Chain A
Amino acid sequence: DIQMTQSPSTLSASVGDRVTITCRASQSINSWLAWYQQKPGKAPRLLIHKASSLQSGVSPSFSGSASGTEFTLTITSLQPDDFATYYCQQYKTYPWTFGQGTKVEIK
């Protein structure tokens, strides 16, 4: 199985901060990577697919990038609504696998 390793596990930040979350795949997944946002008690929401394609309706303050097996989710200016847990997910090979999540907390 392809292992997805996210860092950090928890991130404390303030409104207006630039935030970066990293996800590393254990083997090549090309660009078949997605990012999700999940708030407590809610289903996840797709933010980014194919490593850097912004899902329709998602704020352009979210962006994704890739370099080999390392992927990055960036929030350019953190807003109050962005405090949540973020997951990366590979969909190159079954079983599709997720990172363990990054909780973005208010500093």
Chain B
Amino acid sequence: EVQLVESGGGLIQPGGSLRLSCAASGFLASSYHMTWLRQAPGRGLEWVSVIYSGGTTYYADFVKGRFTISRDNSKNTVYLQMNSLRAEDTAIYYCARVVTHDSGWIPFDYWGQGTLVTVSS
């Protein structure tokens, strides 16, 4: 059974850092593109970052230079290192899988349950 489990969220002061983890099971995360998305309380969905199976990364402008996505294939885990956190980064952070086929991609077919990050003094 495919599962994604996020962890690492919590309350952090503005300017602080957190590292989120997304532990995958039931499939080899190294064979898929993996993404992070977020949802501020009562708001819509925002894509944050993606890491390709080959290691290429892309970021939304609002996190570029502050957040870093990475993966540890030996642990089947994807990370999101978040630095210089701001109040507007407060959100539930989800990881999700992207399937790639010759005929096209299937975005976000599996999601984790999310982890809440609250940035407040």
Contacts and interface: CB of A to CB of B under 8 A. Distances in A.
Interface in A53-107: 55, 87, 89, 91, 94-101
B105 A91 contact: yes
Interface of A is mostly: loop
A89 B105 CA distance: 13
Given A96-B47, A98-B47, A89 B107 contact: yes
A36 B108 contact: yes
Interface string B49-65: 01000000010110000
Q: Name the interface size band of chain A.
A: 20 to 34
Q: Name the interface size band of chain B.
A: 10 to 19
A89 B45 CA distance: 9
Interface stretch (B23-31, B68-76, B82-90, B111-119): B111-119
Interface stretch (A12-20, A21-29, A41-49): A41-49
A10 to B, nearest CB: 13
Interface of B: 44-47, 50, 58, 60-61, 94, 104-109, 111-114
- In the A-B complex, the 9 residue pairs with the smallest Cβ-Cβ separation, listed nearest first, are A43-B111, A96-B47, A98-B45, A95-B60, A91-B107, A49-B106, A94-B58, A101-B44, A100-B44
18 contacts: A32-B104, A32-B105, A43-B94, A43-B111, A43-B112, A45-B111, A46-B108, A49-B105, A49-B109, A50-B104, A55-B109, A87-B44, A89-B45, A89-B108, A98-B46, A100-B44, A101-B44, A101-B45
Interface of A: 32, 34, 36, 38, 43-46, 49-50, 55, 87, 89, 91, 94-101
